[in-house]
Amino acid sequence: MRITVFGVGYVGLVQAACLSEVGHNVVCVDVDEEKINRLKDGDIPIYEPGLESIVKENIGAGRLTFTTEAEVGVNHGKVHFIAVGTPSQEDGSADLKFVLSVAETIGRHMQDHKFVATKSTVPVGTADKVKAAIGEALAGRGDKSQLTFDVISNPEFLKEGAAIADCMKPDRIVIGTDSEEAEEVMRELYAPFSRNHEKIIMMDVRSAELTKYAANCMLATKISFMNEMANLAEIFDADIEMVRKGIGSDPRIGYHFIYPGLGYGGSCFPKDVRALIHAAKANEFQPTILDAVEQRNNSQKKVLFDKIQKHFGGDLAGKTFAFWGLSFKPNTDDMREAPSRVLMEALWDAGAKVNAYDPEAMRECQKIYGNRDDLNLVGTKEAALKNADGLVVVTEWKEFRAPDYELIKECLNVPVVFDGRNLYAPGLMKKRGITYYSVGR
- Catalytic residue positions, numbered: 268
Start-end of H helices in 236-316: 240-248, 269-282, 288-300, 303-311
CA distance 77 to 128: 21
CA distance 59 to 66: 9
Of residues 364, 382, 294, the one with CA closest to residue 92:
294
For the beta carbon of residue 190, count every other beta carbon within 10 angstroms.
Answer: 17
Taking the alpha carbons at both ends of the chain, their separation in whole angstroms is: 54
Give the H or E element holding residue 253: none
Q: Which amino acid is at 108?
A: R
DSSP 8-state assignment for residue 247: H
Of residues 153, 185, 161, 163, the one with CA closest to residue 16:
163
Of residues 292, 79, 268, the one with CA closest to residue 163:
268
Cβ neighbors of 230 (< 8 A, separation 6 or more) are 240, 260, 439, 440
Cβ neighbors of 319 (< 8 A, separation 6 or more) are 312, 351, 352, 353, 389, 390
Phi, psi of 319, deg, nearest 5? -80, 150
Q: Which amino acid is at 367?
A: K
